[in-house]
Amino acid sequence: MCSPIQPCLKGRHVSGDGTAQTHEARGPVLGIQWSCRSLCRTRPPLGSSGPRGASRWPLRALLTPVTQVAGLGNYGLWGTRHSVGMEVLDRLARQLEVADRWRVDKRCCADVTLAAAHGLELVLLKPRRFMNLNGLSIASAAEIYSLGPGDIYLVHDDLDKALGKVAIKLGGSARGHNGVQSCISAMHSNEMTRLRIGIGRPEGDVTVPNYVLSPFSAGEREKLEQILAQAVTCLLEHIRSRAPTDLGCPW
């Protein structure tokens, strides 16, 4: 897990590239305040070297435009229903042949890898935070890669859809999902596209918190591989429909 973000006061600071930055104090987001590092950093060239804020990933330079695809979940609670969005990201990374390139990016407190699809550069991201703070990682990555809310996909579980149902939602309210609400609060917008993965509702006396934080049952796990494949196909088809060009990539 990443260290807490410290309060940021009004002032003049030096950013990662050595330029002076002046800003007003920022209010809290989800009860946590932005740090000066977050406010003052500028996006470094990918692959550049330097003492501060430089990326050391052995990856190609970013194409334009860029799209962020974020899998929401609770970091460390792998295999649970609430973290199925992260499983979709793992499946997507394997399909795009970048599964061995995940790196911890401390700037946004997330596991990040880059991939290309349909003329777009995709920033695949899995926050290293609990669900109700996922938005801080999404917003930090959006700042790093100069992205707006419309450039972001959120992949997450959905109680109101049966297991196996997958659907795209174009913005709107969080519908009670804490991870989505975190992203809306951190981005100050509800325009992010969502890929909703149905997990169904609990039966009997099982509470919703216990249900979503529990692993999939053995029977559900047998179906999950097909569901993940369906989710990745749905996501890539939607990305393709919005891409300005198609470079003939297999995905």
In contact, 7 and 28? CB cutoff 8 Å: no
CA dist., res. 95 & res. 106, Å (int) = 25
Q: Say how far apart CA 240 and CA 243 lie, in whole Å.
A: 5
Neighbours of 245 (CB within 10 A): 8
* Three-state DSSP class for residue 149: helix
Kindly name the residue from 13, 23, 82, 238 that is annotated as catalytic: 82
Is residue 238 annotated as a catalytic residue, yes or no?
A: no
**Is beta strand 11-14 parallel, antiparallel or unpaired with respect to 66-71?**
unpaired
Amino acid at residue number 205? D
Task: Name the residues annotated as catalytic.
Answer: 82
